[in-house]
Structure 1
């Protein structure tokens, strides 16, 4: 199945904070480069103009994965990540995949195994 790269939207505050994160050691990792590529293609809006249905930092997202169950987690900075609490780092492959997507959008994303999956955004909450 062919899925086009969806457009993504990021707030100016998230862009500034993530850019600062990537300016450090995180930017030299494969995960950092993947996040940077996502940010490079993002449509940037003022914080108060970011739609409520867009996945942003500290927002909770429910998404489905092709051939898998729905999952729900909060997108956070690396130092806040805690899988048991449902907080996923923006530097995790699924975290950078979700950033900036809105409800209904789908993205084809590589898995650590080398395979790919399709993620679909089902809901976003504060």
Structure 2
């Protein structure tokens, strides 16, 4: 699923609890694996360079160098044209909990492998989509 190994993901307690509630028929199988291997910390202890829910993430495609910017949100809040992507999408699952400098790996909807380096993370004040 992803280039990060067990324990290389950091989630706030709140993100962990909310993601755990998403487990079910619509959630990808990797969600349980991600939750089981993540380091869970108080929200105030999540480093500012970690991809969290509602974080704006700047990525650079490893193969092409192209840059992308996304905001990670929950299902039902997605606005792809505005850059809001679901945490349960392949790219969302690849990004959550990673640090700046990490490489996220996922498959495109057509099955092609994708790899992008997390270049920057910033928190947004509130969800606006």
Q: TM-score, normalised by structure 1?
A: 0.85
Instruction: Give 1 or 2: higher helix fraction.
Output: 1
Gaps of 5+ in 2: 124-129
Q: TM-score, normalised by structure 2?
A: 0.83
Equivalent residues in 2 for 1:114-125, closer than 5 Å = 114-125=111-122
Ranges of 4+ aligned residues in structure 1 off by more than 3 Å: none
Per the TM alignment, residue 118 of structure 1 is displaced from its structure 2 partner at its CA by: 1.6
Equivalent residues in 2 for 1:1-126, closer than 5 Å = 4-6=3-5, 7-22=8-23, 27-29=24-26, 31-68=27-64, 69-126=66-123
Check whether the contact 2:4–2:98 (CA below 8 A) recurs between aligned residues. Answer: no
Check whether the contact 1:109–1:119 (CA below 8 A) recurs between aligned residues. Answer: no
Gaps of 5+ in 1: none
Distance 1:108 1:59 in 2: 18
Which stretch has the larger CA shift, 57-66 or 31-40? 31-40
How many residues are treated as equivalent by the alignment? 119
Residues 84-108 of structure 1: CA deviation (Å, up to 9, x unaligned): 1110000110011000001001133
